[in-house]
Structures are given as C-alpha cells and as structure tokens.
C-alpha cells in the first residue's frame, strides 16, 4: 500500500509541475539552505516528493518500485512509511549541512529503504536477508561512486543521510511482532504522525504558493 501511494504521489506531483509549468512549486518545496534558515522546515519533507526532469523521476520510481515492496514485506506498511519519512528528513538535513545547493527527489527515501534492508541483514539470520544486504551494499557503493563523478549532479549527502536514517530507524523498529500489541500500536502512531507531517508540509507549500499568487 505505501509503495503504491508513494509511486502515485511522486508521479502526480511531477505531472502537475510538468503540465502546469509552475516553477514556483519547486521553488517553495525544494531543499534550500536559505529557506531552511528562514524556518521553512517542511522543505525537508516536500523535497522528497518532487522531480523536475523525466529521467530523474524515471530512475527513482524504478528504484522505488523494486525496493518498496521488499521493504514493506519485511517491515510492514507502518514501519516502511515511517522509515521513508525519517530517511527523507535525515537525507535533506545532512544535505543542507553538507552543501547549500538546492536539491530535491525521492532518492533520500530510496536510500533509506536500502539502509533499512541492510539493517535487516544485520538483525536477521535469514539467508535471504543476508543476500539482500550484500547486494544492496554493492548497489549503494556504486551509487555513491556515480554520485561523486562531476558530470552527474547527484546529491550524495542526501543519499548518505537517507541511508543512515533508514538503517537507524529499521534497527530500532525491528520486524513486526503480531503478539506485541503495545509495540505495534507505537509504530501505528508513528506512521500516522509521519503522514500528518507530510500532509501539513504540503499545506505549508500551498499557503506559500497562494501568497505568491496574491502578490503577483
């Protein structure tokens, strides 16, 4: 469920920006250091749902399509969405500290899912979890190498922050425990908080866009 909704929302925002040619939306939603310094915290979340270029969203959505169901199957929908949210915030927070350049894209959350499944290989003795861990470590390493090449404008800081956030959240969360009602209720609550924060973040962007339109 979470993977499908994330694919839908990311694609819908991309099409909305593309068809409307509204450059103000990314302007108020992307990670920018001046914006964050001005108290616009929501950029740490909204930046993870926006894409400008077709190849950018295509690559990210393909990665999400492949990784999302695996992470959701391992950790459950509630944990997976919480991991995504924490990873997105953590990724763009580290990006803001690392570089002042504006950035956006779902890759912070995607690297967070990779970090979560790497953590699964640590906390689980299952051979498949170990296999995934090895493969994702290789993929992550390749991703960081490609991101360090000057011809690719890739935000490696967001990737690293997302991976750390995903690994840490998954390590704390562990796998679903159907008979531990209190623990499962906690992760239900955290997923609701994550969803509420995301919705409110886009509400803030909508208010900024409305103010911008009124000034025009």
- Written as one string, the DSSP assignment of 100-117 is -S-B--THHHHHHHHHHH
Question: Phi and psi at residue 135, in whole multiples of 5°?
Answer: -65, -40
Are 37 and 87 in contact by the 8 Å Cβ rule? The answer is no
- Whether residue 216 is contained in a domain is answered as no
pTM across the whole model: 0.93
- pLDDT (mean) for 189-199: 96
pLDDT band at 3 (very low <50, low <70, confident <90, very high): very high
- Whether residue 28 is contained in a domain is answered as yes
Counting residues of the chain whose pLDDT is more than 90, the rounded percentage is: 68
Looking at residue 138, its pLDDT comes to 92
Instruction: For the chain, state the CA radius of gyration.
Output: 17
The answer on pLDDT for 153 being more than 80 is: no
The answer on pLDDT for 20 being more than 90 is: no
Determine the Cα–Cα distance for residues 163 and 169; give it in Å rounded to an integer: 10
- pLDDT (mean) for 57-69: 95
Looking at residue 58, its pLDDT comes to 95
The answer on pLDDT for 215 being more than 70 is: no
Whether 95 is catalytic: no
Which of the two residues, 169 and 18, has the higher pLDDT score?
Answer: 169
The answer on pLDDT for 214 being more than 70 is: no
Which of the two residues, 146 and 132, has the higher pLDDT score?
Answer: 132
DSSP state of 175: S
The answer on pLDDT for 179 being more than 90 is: no
Mean pLDDT of the chain: 91
Q: Which entry of 56, 63, 95, 159 is annotated as an active-site residue?
A: 159
The answer on pLDDT for 91 being more than 90 is: yes
At CA 57, angle to CA 141 and CA 10, rounded to 5? 115
Whether 107 is catalytic: yes
- Whether residue 179 is contained in a domain is answered as yes
Looking at residue 119, its pLDDT comes to 95
Which positions ≥6 away from 114 have C-beta within 8 Å?
A: 67, 136, 139, 140, 163, 166
Which of the two residues, 16 and 80, has the higher pLDDT score?
Answer: 80
Residue 84, domain extent: 2-12+22-210
Determine the Cα–Cα distance for residues 47 and 82; give it in Å rounded to an integer: 16
In the chain, how many domains are there?
1
- Whether residue 112 is contained in a domain is answered as yes
Q: Which entry of 87, 95, 103, 107 is annotated as an active-site residue?
A: 107
CB burial class (10 A; 0-12, 13-18, 19+) of residue 44? buried
Looking at residue 150, its pLDDT comes to 73
Q: According to the 3-state scheme, what is the secondary structure of 65-104?
A: HHHHHHHHHHHHHHHHHHHHHHHHHHHHHHHHHHCCCCEC
CATH code of the domain containing 128: 1.20.1540.10
- Whether residue 215 is contained in a domain is answered as no
Looking at residue 1, its pLDDT comes to 82
pLDDT band at 187 (very low <50, low <70, confident <90, very high): very high
- pLDDT (mean) for 8-31: 87
Which of the two residues, 108 and 25, has the higher pLDDT score?
Answer: 108
- Whether residue 141 is contained in a domain is answered as yes
- pLDDT (mean) for 167-191: 91
């Amino acid at each position: 469920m979470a993977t499908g909704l994330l694919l839908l929302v990311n694609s819908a925002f991309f099409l909305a920006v593309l068809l409307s040619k509204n450059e103000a939306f990314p302007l108020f939603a992307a990670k920018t250091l001046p914006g964050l310094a001005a108290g616009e915290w929501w950029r740490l979340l909204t930046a993870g749902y926006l894409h400008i270029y077709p190849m950018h969203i295509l690559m990210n959505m393909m990665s999400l399509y492949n990784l999302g169901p695996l992470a959701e199957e391992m950790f459950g929908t509630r944990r997976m969405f919480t991991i995504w949210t924490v990873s997105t915030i953590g990724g763009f927070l580290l990006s803001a500290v690392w570089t002042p350049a504006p950035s956006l894209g779902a890759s912070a959350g995607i690297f967070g899912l990779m970090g979560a499944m790497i953590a699964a290989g640590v906390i689980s003795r299952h051979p498949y979890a170990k296999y995934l861990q090895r493969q994702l470590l290789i993929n992550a390493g390749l991703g960081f190498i490609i991101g360090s090449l000057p011809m690719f404008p890739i935000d490696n800081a967001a990737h690293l922050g997302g991976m750390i956030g995903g690994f840490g959240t998954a390590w704390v969360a562990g796998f679903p425990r159907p008979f531990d009602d209190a623990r499962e209720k906690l992760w239900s609550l955290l997923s609701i908080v994550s969803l509420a924060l995301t919705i409110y973040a886009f509400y803030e962007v909508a208010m900024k866009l409305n103010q911008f339109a009124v000034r025009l």
